[in-house]
Amino acid sequence: MTIQENCPAAATNGERATLNYQGKPTDFPLRHGSIGPSVMDIGKLYKDTGCFSYDPGFTSTANCASKITFIDGDKGELLYRGYPIEQIAEYSNFLATCFLLLNGELPTNEQFRDFRRTISMHTMVHEQMTRFFTGFRRDAHPMAVMVGVVGALSAFYHDSTDISNPEHRRIATNRMIAKMPTIAAMAYKYSIGHPFIYPRNDLDYTSNFLQMCFAVPCEPYIVNPVVARALDRIFILHADHEQNASTSTVRLAGSSGANPFACIASGIACLWGPAHGGANEAALTMLQEIGTVERIPEFIAKAKDKSSGFRLMGFGHRVYKNYDPRAKVMQKTCHEVLDALDKRDDPLLKVAMELEKIALQDDYFVSKKLYPNIDFYSGITLRAIGFPVEMFTVLFAVARTVGWIAQWREMIEDPEQRIGRPRQLYVGPSRREFPL
Ligand code: CMC
């Protein structure tokens, strides 16, 4: 089989790639994005050739056309609606980023005020949901609680589950962005036996989340502005990341017409895995296990030994083959938080910085283009703020909710989208008779 590509560098629409299979040429249209690689539209591959494409892990497969987020993995660039992540993290805030991801443009001052007011009107959860929490064991992982409670939102808010109704989609969007911090904080409070703290709508989105997590009814809680700004930035960095595993899960779940709350619950379940959102927890656990700078060579050697099954958590990325741009912002934020909280002598920071230095000079990591990813420094930062490791992925879920919803809405509104139904290369037994 050969592929003759008729696509010059600056190709225009109407061009085609020709695939020769068993002596018969078949043409496939080429489609070009605004930036990034073009795609061959192989939707008719099976009809025209009788073959499926085979691409486990979707390493060469685009599942949709999207206008939301762009990553150039070789350059180490991440854009939300065209804006570089570093600039958004520096000049914007999480709620404005939500508006941008959902609507395509940054909000005007008036739009921001309206959006903020709307979100704050939805921050409480149905009072009956508090009883839902008590059904869980207190030592349950908060991500397990999140999957259950977010999935249950459709039982409490079924008046916004008609996906064909744009107004329902809008209300479900606002509800999820507003309620996710409340649910996450409740999961945390439940795990430590504290009473739930109600949202405070006079606070900004992230400060309110901090007070729901760390305030207690018996004394006033004052939000540390450096911590609030750092967490807000962490939320911005995690808000969307194009067609990653959890977002693809949300899209796939949504492609069947499932309601948005159920779709987001499926995204949370996928995010929990250690190769995805669970990596921040795994990275911190690994740094704790390493413990001292002297033990780093032992762990580097283990990571290079395939038979050990050990990987350097917080290193490597499917798309970034350069420094993850989010990791750079995260590293700076980490230093800011440790300085503000007078924890700059945190031994884990020393281990992390030394580990990064050694790995970036090591031939194994250099040749495989394995760089620190966002999770490498986020764990140290979140721990310094006061979150236990089990909450790390929950915070990721709070931030990623807007990305999941923006992508879900884009899918619902895309006339080209159909139910997601991959095919397979069957390698099991062929037909045989049942033994009598
Ligand atoms: N430590 C040691 N070796 C590694 C690592 C690592 N962290 N990551 C990849 N490799 C090696 C891997 O063994 C393979 O070697 P070879 O080519 O000799 O077989 C090569 O690098 C390519 O790895 P891969 O598993 O084929 O790459 P992938 O694109 O399928 O996996 C990844 C990407 C993120 C799952 C992987 O790098 C990894 O497991 N990293 C650790 C977990 C982690 O930090 N995940 C967070 C990702 S960022 C947050 C997010 O977006 O969710």
Q: What percent of the chain has pLDDT over 70?
A: 97
pLDDT digits (tens, 9 = 90+) for 255-294: 999 999 999 999 999 999 988 888 888 899 999 999 999 9
Calculate how far, in angstroms, residue 290's C-alpha sits from the geometric centre of ligand 1: 19
Distance CA 241, CA 66 (A): 12
Instruction: Evaluate if residue 4 carries a pLDDT over 70.
Output: no
**Length in residues, the chain:** 436
Report strand pairing: 77-80 vs 83-84.
Answer: antiparallel
What is the atom index within ligand 1 of the atom nearest the CA of 317?
Answer: 34
pLDDT for the residue 240: 98
* In the block, residue with structure tokens 């945190």: 346
- Provide the mean pLDDT of the chain: 93
What pLDDT is attached to residue 9?
Answer: 36
Local structure of 346: helix, strand or coil:
coil
Smallest CA separation from ligand 1 atom 37, residue: 316
CA distance 211 to 199: 8
Residue 276 bears catalytic tag: no
The residue whose C-alpha atom lies closest to atom 34 belonging to ligand 1 is 317
342 band by pLDDT with thresholds 50, 70 and 90: very high
What span, in angstroms and rounded, lies between the C-alpha atoms of 373 and 41?
Answer: 31
Most confident of 109-118, 301-310, 348-357: 109-118
> pTM for the full model?
0.91
| Residue 378 · residue 332 · CB < 8 Å | no
Q: Residue 323 pLDDT more than 90?
A: no
- Atom 26 of ligand 1, nearest CA residue: 318
Q: Which two tokens stand for residue 332?
A: 């700076």
Please determine, for residue 5, whether its predicted confidence score (pLDDT) is greater than 70: no
Give the span between the Cα atoms of 290 and 187, in whole angstroms.
29
- What is residue 345's predicted lDDT score, i.e. its pLDDT? 87
Contact (CB, 8 A) for 197 and 215:
yes
Dist CA 404 CA 104 (whole Å): 15
Smallest CA-to-CA distance from 341 within 387, 373, 397 is with 387
Residue 422, Cβ density class (10 Å: 0-12 exposed, 13-18 middle, ≥19 buried): exposed
Residue nearest to atom 15 of ligand 1 (CA): 368
* 39-40 and 16-21 beta bridge pairing: unpaired
Q: How far is CA 231 from the centre of its chain?
A: 16
The H-assigned helical ranges of 121-165 are 129-133, 142-156
**Among 61, 313, 368, 371, residue to substitute to test ligand 1 (most atoms within 8 Å of Cβ):** 368
H or E stretch covering 19: strand 16-21
The mean pLDDT value for 138-159 works out to: 94
pLDDT in tens, 88-140: 999 999 999 999 999 999 999 999 999 999 999 999 999 999 999 999 999 99
Rounded to 5°, the CA angle 338-342-347 comes to 60
Q: Give catalytic status of residue 114 as yes or no.
A: no
- CA dist 342 → 334, 351, 356, 378, 384 (Å): 12, 18, 23, 17, 10
**Atom 27 in ligand 1: residue holding the nearest Cα:** 318
What pLDDT shows up at residue 174? 97
CA-based max dimension of the chain: 79
Strand pairing of 2-5 and 69-72?
Answer: unpaired
Does pLDDT of 3 surpass 50? no
Going by CA atoms, what residue is nearest to atom 8 of ligand 1? Answer: 316
Whether residue 150 is predicted with pLDDT greater than 50 in this model: the reply is yes
**Ligand 1 pocket test: which of 69, 78, 311 has the largest number of ligand atoms within 8 Å of its C-beta?**
311
Residues enclosing ligand 1, CB less than 6 A?
241, 244, 275-277, 279, 303, 311-318, 368, 370, 373-375
Instruction: For 68-92, write each residue's pLDDT tens digit.
Output: 999 999 999 999 999 999 999 999 9
Helices in 134-291 by DSSP H: which ranges? 142-156, 166-192, 205-214, 225-238, 245-255, 260-271, 279-290
**Lowest mean pLDDT segment, chosen from 192-201, 233-242, 352-361:** 352-361
Reading the block at residue 355, the tokens are 């580990």
Distance in Å, CA 369 to ligand 1 centroid? 10
Nearest to 179 by CA among 372, 397, 424, 403: 397
Q: What is the dihedral of CA 337, 340, 344, 349, to 10 degrees?
A: 0
Q: What is the number of the ligand 1 atom nearest to the C-alpha of 315?
A: 7
372: three-class secondary structure by DSSP: strand
Q: Which residues lie across from 20 on neighbouring strands?
A: 2, 25
Residue closest to 214 by CA, chosen among 234, 197, 193? 197
Atom of ligand 1 nearest to the CA of 314: 44
Q: How far is the CA of 18 from the centre of ligand 1 (A)?
A: 33
* Closest ligand 1 atom number to CA of residue 245: 52
CB atoms within 10 A of CB 316: 20
How far away, in angstroms, is 123 Cα from ligand 1 center?
37
Q: Which amino acid is it at 76? A: G
Q: Average pLDDT in the 319-330 region? A: 91
Tokens encoding 177 = 């962005």
Catalytic residue among 168, 238, 241, 317: 317
Closest ligand 1 atom to the C-alpha of 57?
30
Distance of alpha carbon 347 from alpha carbon 383, whole angstroms: 13
Look at ligand 1, atom 13, and give the residue with the nearest C-alpha: 306
The span from the CA of 6 to the CA of 18, in Å, is 7
Mutate which of 143, 318, 330 for ligand 1? The one with the most ligand atoms within 8 Å of its CB, which is 318
Task: Determine the distance separating the centroid of ligand 1 and the alpha carbon of 74, expressed in angstroms.
Answer: 16
pLDDT of residue 13: 64
Write down the pLDDT at residue 8: 38
* pLDDT score, position 14: 77
